[in-house]
Amino acid sequence: MQHLIRIEGTFGLDVTVQTVRSQLQAAPAGGRPTVRINSEGGSVQEAVAVYTELLAHPGGVDTEVSGWALSAATIVLQAGKRRSMGATGLLMVHAPWLSTAGNADQLRESAAVLDQVRATMRVAYRRTGKSDAQIDAWLDGADHWFTADDALRAGLVDEVLDYADASALATFRQAMAACRFPVPSHILERLDTMTTPNTQGADAVSAAVLAEAQRGADIRAAFKAYARDIPEAVALLESSLANPAVSLAKFKAELLEVNNKGVESIMGNYVARDPYTGAHDGMKTFMAAAVDTLCLRSGMRVEEPHPAAADLRRTSIVGMAERVLSMRGQSTARRSPSDLISAALATDDFPLLLSNLAGKMLRNGYESSPASFRGWTGERTVANFKEHSLLMLSEAPALLEKMEGAEYKHGHFSEGGTKFTVKTHGRMLSITREALINDDLSALTAMPRAFGQAAVRLEADQVYALLTSNPTLSDSVALFDAAHGNVSTAAAPSIASLGLARAAMRKQKGLQGTEYIDAQPRYIVAPVALETTFEQLLASLVDPSKSNATPNVEWVKNLQLACDPRLDATSASVWYLATAPEQIEGVLRAYIETESRPHLEEEQVFSRDLVNMKCRLDFATGIVDYRGLHRVG
């Protein structure tokens, strides 16, 4: 009996090299299995891996297109020693596509990658016997469609199978209506005019093909609904699909036995295996790909997009809602966009998809916004919103000589500091059903990103307000005061003024007033009015104030510059030096532990057909140690 291997669905999502390899391993030795293909394509990398796996199979394989082979699926078709195609089938060949974003250099690098993928595809299509020039014409920017007769003339298949009839064609037309690639009208017209080339026995053959396709679909549906997350269930699925003698009833009975091994069933709900991670969580895979797709469509750079993101690039938000409902076993036939969105919002998965997208855009806005304060300020987390003390410990007591046989002498620390309380800051946004139906990405992406940027502005406002307000500390002395030894007279940026400020910092002593702590400046904190001057000073190889080209000192070149326009609002000439927080913490930023920064929560409002999202930042600032800061001016 002919051994049948099925490739149905999207490469990288439904079809992987692992699933194909397991079916090949189950094939009888010495035979030549038939690989039956019905796929819209998908990840070209996965398709090339499957193509290579089929070529390496001992004795080879035959390939057959039972419905259609689009995009990357046509590569796999070329692995067959004998390539067949149903009379009602379709092929589509086009150039590789990559979802990316970035600057000019990054885009050119992505284009180079696509050129390499195109070269790999050209090797597969040489099986047609066509010239490289003809193959490159297929791999241009257009979609090239082939009916069965077209494909035979083009050398993409070796034979056309004559089991076309009205029922098979009608079933195929229904599938084309949901295709993510627009099928040209002239192709549809030619399919409409098709007649059965060989009527004798055609109905029986077509009915058998449709029955086998239905058997596979029923078995997969049962697997998604009832299978446990164990390898034995996956092995049973693959062996049952490969054996036409296994009925749906028999599969369910065997699956029940597998599920009951060593477990007690309590309201179980099992889903299909994720082809990327090996886990049985196809919904998780889909949502990760959908989030990356929408981020890319909004213009956000995604460093490593999910492999399945390319397959969703043309899918609208309504289409994604439809996919969620389908994966949960709900019928989507003849449902309006409004009904699909409302039904999807009633699930747990679609609101989570929207929340994941908003959260990713929120973090992007937060992490990509200018935050000049992060380097020179310290950071801590606290457990609650109570008042907290910032302790400024003295230097360690000096080590004393111990005489032979004598006891060690006790030392002690002195301490000072200030207090702070974390406060909650936040806003809400609403995503309406209308925005989802309209595919309005601004509601889903721009608004959360703007909230992330607002969180950074809040942090910067409070940090620089604390610095410029010169608050009174717990010792009843202002932060910057002669009594603290951390303020110099006004001076323009120069090697000399930097040197004086550094000397003052290095002369600082501990709270006990006996030991030098040698505070080393690492950052210059300055208004933007002085930014260019400091950049020239730090980048110069020589001292700009010397006419004899005196070399610039090394410690100055190692300083890091942090400029912010909030300082200009107080003074355009006052600037500061700060130590690295690891040595001495000057200004501290505090957050609530275990909370993301900023934090996002969502809530579905059933009565208003919308999803509310709340952005929250728990944040406070405080002064830890005045000796880590020095003001000039």
Residue 181 is predicted with a pLDDT of: 61
Respond yes or no: is residue 57 known to be catalytic: no
Q: pLDDT of 104-144, one tens digit each?
A: 666 676 677 677 778 878 889 999 999 988 998 898 878 88
Mean pLDDT, range 213-242, rounded to an integer: 76
Q: For residues 617 and 426, what is the distance between their CA atoms, to the nearest angstrom?
A: 6
Mean pLDDT, range 504-513, rounded to an integer: 82
Domain boundaries, the chain: 4-199, 375-399+409-633
Partnered with residue 545 across adjacent β-strands are none
The percentage of the chain sitting over the pLDDT mark of 70, rounded to a whole number, equals: 79
Q: pLDDT of 363-392, one tens digit each?
A: 888 888 989 999 999 998 888 888 876 655
Q: Give the burial class of 256: count Cβ atoms within 10 A of its Cβ; 0-12 exposed, 13-18 middle, 19 or more buried.
A: exposed
Q: Is the predicted pLDDT of residue 414 greater than 50, yes or no?
A: no
Instruction: Given the residues 71, 240, 372, 488, select the one marked as catalytic.
Output: 71
Q: Is the predicted pLDDT of residue 274 greater than 80, yes or no?
A: no
Considering only CA atoms, which of 624, 565, 627 is closest in space to residue 372? 565
- Which has the minimum average pLDDT: 4-8, 195-199, 386-390? 195-199
What is the helix, strand, coil percentage profile of the chain, to 5?
Answer: 40, 20, 40
Instruction: Given the residues 94, 306, 388, 599, select the one marked as catalytic.
Output: 94
Q: For residues 52 and 49, what is the distance between their CA atoms, to the nearest angstrom?
A: 5
How many other C-beta atoms can be found within 10 angstroms of the C-beta atom of residue 518? Answer: 12
CB 417 within 8 A of CB 392: yes
Q: Is the predicted pLDDT of residue 587 greater than 90, yes or no?
A: yes
Fold of 375-399+409-633: phage-related protein like fold (3.90.1690)
Considering only CA atoms, which of 422, 470, 476 is closest in space to residue 586? 470
The domains spanning 4-199 and 375-399+409-633 adopt the same CATH topology:
no
The reply to whether the predicted model has a pTM over 0.75 is: no
Residue 189 is predicted with a pLDDT of: 61
CB 326 within 8 A of CB 271: no
Respond yes or no: is residue 547 known to be catalytic: no
Q: What is the mean pLDDT of the chain?
A: 81
Q: For residues 130 and 118, what is the distance between their CA atoms, to the nearest angstrom?
A: 16
Q: Give the burial class of 133: count Cβ atoms within 10 A of its Cβ; 0-12 exposed, 13-18 middle, 19 or more buried.
A: exposed
Residue 180 is predicted with a pLDDT of: 57
In sequence order, the 6+-apart residues with CB closer than 8 A to the CB of 424 are 385, 616, 617, 618
Strand bridging mode 610-623 / 423-432: antiparallel
Q: pLDDT of 425-440, one tens digit each?
A: 888 878 888 888 887 7
Considering only CA atoms, which of 529, 541, 600 is closest in space to residue 566? 529
Considering only CA atoms, which of 618, 628, 631 is closest in space to residue 417? 628
Q: pLDDT of 57-115, one tens digit each?
A: 988 999 999 888 999 999 999 999 999 998 888 899 988 876 555 566 666 766 776 77
Residue 276 is predicted with a pLDDT of: 40
- Which has the minimum average pLDDT: 156-165, 255-264, 463-472, 571-580? 255-264
Give the CATH superfamily of 4-199: 2-enoyl-CoA Hydratase; Chain A, domain 1 (3.90.226.10)
